[in-house]
Amino acid sequence: GAGVSQSPSNKVTEKGKDVELRCDPISGHTALYWYRQSLGQGLEFLIYFQGNSAPDKSGLPSDRFSAERTGGSVSTLTIQRTQQEDSAVYLCASSLAVQYEQFFGPGTRLTVL
């Protein structure tokens, strides 16, 4: 079946603008995760959704970052008043509940000028 998809694949924005990144998880996967990967680095956890439970927001770096998941499927990560240090690849992953085998999308490369 289809894998995790993300859009856009690339986003260039100006400092101070807001951006929205979208993730479509694998159908039937109840858990959805957002990670950030800076150039040449490993992945940094941002936020996690599991079913109807309150999301785990412990990885969000500031209150400029927020995410929502509508209808238990599609998720949107919003970054307000973007800064140059927000430039990174933002990766989304999904998994079946209670499993750790997360499947990743191709990522959105965000560049803040």
Judged by CB under 8 A, does residue 102 bind another protein? yes
- Interface mask (CB under 8 A) for another protein, residues 19-48, using x and -? ------------x-x-x-----xxxxx--x
Residue of the chain from 19, 21, 91, 112 that contacts another protein (CB under 8 A): 91
- Please say which residue, 19 or 23, places its beta carbon nearer to another protein: 23
CB closer to another protein out of 16 and 97: 97
Residue closer to another protein, measured from CB, 14 or 52: 52
Burial of 37: CB neighbours in 10 Å, binned 0-12, 13-18, 19+: middle
By CB under 8 A, name the binding residues for another protein: 4, 31, 33, 35, 41-45, 48, 50, 56, 58-59, 91, 93, 95, 100-107
